[in-house]
Chain A
Amino acid sequence: MSQFRCVIQEGSTADARSDELERRLQDHHARHYPGEASSVSWVTVAPGYMFTEGRRSTSSVISCFVDHETTRDDREIYMRGICDLWTELTDCTDHEVVVSLTETAAASQE
């Protein structure tokens, strides 16, 4: 099953709306890979433990582990959708959203 691992800041809007974000991530995945289920896990970082450019971070880091091989265009569409839903729900900027995609199908064949 494909998975999302989300690192968010304690007390942030993402923290407050994690249930909704989780549902939207799963909906996004199921639209991109029709009907496919996915799971979401959360790492909530206490203030003073994560930094961006050396300062307290306001960023969210969403790591996607996808059971599919992808093309560049495919990845761009998939990750763009995640950026869009995240900024929409949390009011953060694009600069505060980091998305990465690992192809677990390809990794398991290595």
Chain B
Amino acid sequence: MPFYHALVRPQLLTEAQRQQFAAAVVEVHCDVTGAPPSFVHALVSEEHDAQLPAGRTAIINGTIRAGRTDAQKAEIATRLSQALAETAGVSVEEVQTSTRDIEASHTMEAGVLLPEPGSPEEEAWKAGSVPAPA
């Protein structure tokens, strides 16, 4: 966690572009929240037009730990929409991003319940979860 799911029109993105978008997800989420990059997941799935909202080429649904501020969530949404639009070569108005909060203790990753953002436990968790440089 976080888990970002981009639903896009078929063949909107090549594999290289999907990877570029996934890298942007890591950059944006970690820049805004300070979370460790090793926990950032991005899934891209292709959906037919009828399954996308009218006027949208892509939508991004992010599931993130509760506790982020509204300003942080707005920045994530804006920057991810821009990143996907730039990667795909479409207008930013065609991309819609939203986030959904999940309580940290409702998620287990690397065998432990995730800590609340900003808690003392999070600092220890970050120290232990960030892989040593190769």
Interfacial residues, chain A to chain B (CB-CB below 8 A): 7, 45, 48-57, 59, 61, 72, 75-76, 79-80, 82-83, 94-95, 97-102
Which of B18-26, B52-60, B88-96 lies at the interface?
B18-26
Which of A51, A57, A83, A95 has the most chain B CB atoms inside 10 A of its CB? Answer: A51
Provided the pairs A45-B43, A49-B44, A50-B42 are in contact, do residues A83 and B108 lie with their beta carbons within 8 angstroms? yes
In the complex, whether B106 has a CB less than 8 A from a CB of chain A is: yes
Residues of A within 8 A of B107 (CB): 79, 98-101
Residues of B within 8 A of A99 (CB): 107-109
Q: Number of residues in B with C-beta < 8 Å to the partner? A: 28
User: Which residue of chain A is the closest to B4 with respect to CB atoms?
Assistant: A51
Interfacial residues, chain B to chain A (CB-CB below 8 A): 1, 3, 15, 18-19, 22-23, 25-26, 37-45, 63, 102, 105-111, 113
The distance in angstroms between the C-alpha atoms of A54 and B66, with both chains bound, is 23
Q: Distance (Å) between the CB of B49 and the closest chain A CB?
A: 19
The distance in angstroms between the C-alpha atoms of A75 and B15, with both chains bound, is 37
Q: Are A51 and B18 in contact (CB under 8 A)?
A: yes
The distance in angstroms between the C-alpha atoms of A45 and B15, with both chains bound, is 13
Residues of B within 8 A of A79 (CB): 107-108, 113
22 A-B Cβ contacts within 8 A? Answer: A48-B15, A48-B18, A48-B19, A49-B44, A51-B19, A54-B23, A61-B3, A75-B105, A76-B108, A83-B111, A94-B110, A94-B111, A95-B109, A95-B110, A97-B111, A98-B3, A98-B107, A98-B108, A99-B107, A100-B63, A100-B107, A101-B106
